[in-house]
């Protein structure tokens, strides 16, 4: 049983510390994953909070068919998709302020400290949304292809193809921006 699953079971049994452990463990990774959908750290933070609120209020049943992290990210993805559909209907003119962009960059800079990570992050921002998502889930969140398929609601074969094309696109973008590979 993974730690997230045991913490969730404790929470369901009445121990609120279990939910606090889940939030501490998965907060930043989930927020960065959801940010790959919405492209705004502040909105991603709100959607992350909504995901944890879903756990706290509705207490959905975890059946153990996948890892807890996969299940949690699927809940976050569903909440984000609902938000995107609703936002698309309500959007009239996109607004962005320099202050929002500056604070978003400060959060990202704090999280991505060294220069190579920042270059990788900038290159990933230029990729198609589905490429960013599959790379985030596979490499940064270390989910298996089966788990990524479950979160993204695609077949394993589609994920393998997406991953291949995403890596190819990322490599091309990194080479375009001057990244050089070190031979080891």
pLDDT tens track for 77-98:
999 989 988 876 666 444 444 4
For residue 47, what are the contacts with CB-CB under 8 A and spacing of at least 6?
Answer: 34, 38, 76, 79, 80, 83
Q: Which of 32, 25, 20 is nearest to 3 (CA)?
A: 25
Contacts of 86 (CB under 8 A, 6+ apart): none
Query: In the numeric block, which tokens belong to residue 119?
Result: 């270059």
**Predicted confidence (pLDDT) per residue in 3-48, tens digit:** 889 999 999 999 999 999 999 999 999 999 999 888 889 999 999 9
- What total number of domains does the chain contain? 2
Other C-beta atoms lying within 10 Å of the C-beta of residue 133: 21
Averaged pLDDT for residues 174-182: 73
Whether 78 and 130 map to the same domain: the answer is no
Domain contains 11: yes
Domain of 81: which CATH number? 1.10.1740.10
pLDDT at 99: 47
- Whether residue 158 is predicted with pLDDT greater than 90 in this model: the reply is yes
Which of 94, 120, 114, 118 has its CA nearest to residue 105? 118
Same-domain status, 128 and 87: no
Q: Is residue 66 within 8 Å of 4, Cβ to Cβ? A: no
Look at residue 142 and tell me whether its pLDDT is greater than 80.
yes
98 falls within a domain: no
Residue 109 lies in a domain: no
Rounded to an integer, the average pLDDT of 61-82 is 92
Alpha helices in the chain, H assignment, sequence order: 3-12, 17-38, 41-58, 68-90, 98-111, 115-125, 129-135, 145-152, 156-176
Which domain, by its residues, includes 69?
1-91
**What pLDDT is stored for residue 104 in this prediction?**
52
- The per-residue pLDDT for range 105-135, each reduced to its tens digit, is 555 555 445 566 777 778 888 899 899 999 9
Q: What is the pLDDT of residue 105?
A: 52
Task: Indicate the burial class of 70 (C-beta count within 10 angstroms; 0-12, 13-18, 19 or more).
Answer: buried
CATH code at position 140: 1.10.10.10
Q: Is this model's pTM higher than 0.75 or not?
A: no
105 belongs to a structural domain? no
84 and 121 inside one domain: no
Domain membership of residue 126 (yes or no) is yes
């Amino acid at each position: 049983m993974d730690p997230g699953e045991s913490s969730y079971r404790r929470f369901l049994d009445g121990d609120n510390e279990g939910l606090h452990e889940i939030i501490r463990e998965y907060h930043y990774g989930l927020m960065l994953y959801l940010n790959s959908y919405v492209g705004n750290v502040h909105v991603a933070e709100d959607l992350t909070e909504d995901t944890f609120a879903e756990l706290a209020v509705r207490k959905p049943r975890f059946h153990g068919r996948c890892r807890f992290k996969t299940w949690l990210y699927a809940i976050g993805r569903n909440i984000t998709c609902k938000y995107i559909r609703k936002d698309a209907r309500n959007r009239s003119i996109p607004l962005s302020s320099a202050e929002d962009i500056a604070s978003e960059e400060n959060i990202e800079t704090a999280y991505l400290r060294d220069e190579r990570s920042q270059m990788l992050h900038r290159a990933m921002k230029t990729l198609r949304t589905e490429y960013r998502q599959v790379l985030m889930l596979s490499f940064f969140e270390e989910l298996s292809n089966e788990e990524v398929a479950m979160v993204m609601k695609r077949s394993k074969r589609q994920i393998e193809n997406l991953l291949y094309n995403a890596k190819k696109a990322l490599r091309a973008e990194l080479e375009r921006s001057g990244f050089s590979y070190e031979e080891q």
